[in-house]
Amino acid sequence: MSHVTVYPCASYEGVPAEVERAFAAYAPPMDGKRVVLKVNLLGPCRPEEHVTTHPSLVSAAVAACRRRGAAEIVVGDNPGMSSYGSTDHVARMTGTIEAAAGCYRNIAEAPRMVEVPTPGVGRVPVSRAVLEADVVIGLAKMKTHVATGITGAVKNTFGYVVGAAKTQLHAACPGKEAFARAVLDVYALRPPDFSIVDAVYAMEGQGPSGGQPRFVGRLLASADNVALDAVMARMMGFRPEQIPYLVAAAERGLGEIGDDRIHVEGPTDPIPGFRRPKYGQSMGTWGARLVSRIYVTQPQADTDICIKCGACARQCPVEAIRMDPYPVIDAARCISCFCCHEFCKPKAMRLAPRIRIMKFLRGRK
């Protein structure tokens, strides 16, 4: 039986008290240990955009580790893939450096090459600080995700992989089930000892960066990161069985997703009218699977909003975008990973269904 706690938290001023409760319930001994706080720093976004882990969660977690006598505390992430400048710039923009109070480190430096079992990938650079830590604590964000349905405690660990190497995993794993495997292959390298998910403000709609902030007023915590995400998914209006990486995680014995296997304390009522992503990867139902055989979702730049920065083309793992002068998508090459959507800061990349009747007739997925 796994345990998940949901802490009501009406504002970010209340975060330190609830984080201390979460540490009291779930933190392993950390006296004299090396601790990594793995935050979600997707890109250079201000805290009020609610794309990244809120700085109040970072400062509260650092203080909680200090109170427990941690010998070394490292706060870090590997944001994005190959754009937006340096990791340090993202950490500064998101308020992480200031909140980390001397504990921020660029964990992209001096990575260790690690073999992952994902077919066709081989070795990828992974943050050495994570692999050599005694304790890893995830500080994630509750968000929708156009490629994976949701992102929380498990998907946060995809940031163990340094920068542009994430493209190898995307390119090798087109499609939602394959990408779920890649996400879990990285997660399994070092599951966090426990995670806290920031849902004071979550993101709904076209997350993880193109959606809208939504006040939820809760923090979630658990030592079973999979169970935590399953509880979070239900609050967001999904069944865990609709999220491919949760299904695969349960099959691999990485955590629980059944509500009869998870003991939950606190308010888990679904968030009224929470908006799920539109046109993302189909989410598990037979109807959605049938529709996905006929339609494929692909991006298209809105030229009224696009600033021709080219970030989408740099992020595309299969080089399906050429700038002319706006982004032009090669539909045959596109694998619908939606990295271009995720990393378009002006939110100019739209997702829309495109018919693929020939693929349907050939019976391909």
Q: Which residues bind ligand SF4 (CB under 6 A)?
A: 299, 301, 306-312, 315-316, 318, 320-321, 327, 329, 334-340, 344, 346, 348-349
Q: Residue 201 CB, nearest distance to ligand SF4 (Å)?
A: 24
Cα 233 from Cα 239, distance rounded (Å) = 6
- In terms of CB distance, is 270 or 346 closer to ligand SF4? 346
- In terms of CB distance, is 174 or 266 closer to ligand SF4? 174
**Closest by CA position to 118, among listed 169, 156, 159, 154:** 169
Q: Residue 81 CB, nearest distance to ligand SF4 (Å)?
A: 10
Identify the three-state secondary structure at position 136: strand
- In terms of CB distance, is 257 or 349 closer to ligand SF4? 349
The CA-CA-CA angle for residues 28, 32, 38, to 5°, reads: 55
- In terms of CB distance, is 138 or 299 closer to ligand SF4? 299
Q: Residue 23 CB, nearest distance to ligand SF4 (Å)?
A: 38
- In terms of CB distance, is 239 or 354 closer to ligand SF4? 354
- Under DSSP, the state recorded for 104 is B
CB 194 within 8 A of CB 227: no
Q: Residue 306 CB, nearest distance to ligand SF4 (Å)?
A: 3
Cα atoms in the 13 Å half-sphere on the side-chain side of 29:
2
Beta strands in 100-207 (DSSP E): 112-116, 122-126, 135-145, 149-151, 194-204
Q: Residue 261 CB, nearest distance to ligand SF4 (Å)?
A: 35
- In terms of CB distance, is 97 or 306 closer to ligand SF4? 306
Cα 264 from Cα 27, distance rounded (Å) = 17
CB 111 within 8 A of CB 128: yes
- In terms of CB distance, is 108 or 312 closer to ligand SF4? 312
Identify the three-state secondary structure at position 9: coil
Q: Residue 217 CB, nearest distance to ligand SF4 (Å)?
A: 32
CB 356 within 8 A of CB 295: yes
Please give the helix or strand (H or E) that residue 3 lies within, else none.
Answer: strand 2-8
Q: Residue 323 CB, nearest distance to ligand SF4 (Å)?
A: 7
- In terms of CB distance, is 201 or 279 closer to ligand SF4? 279
Q: Residue 182 CB, nearest distance to ligand SF4 (Å)?
A: 14
**CA-CA-CA-CA torsion sign (63, 68, 74, 78):** negative
CB 77 within 8 A of CB 36: no
Identify the three-state secondary structure at position 109: coil
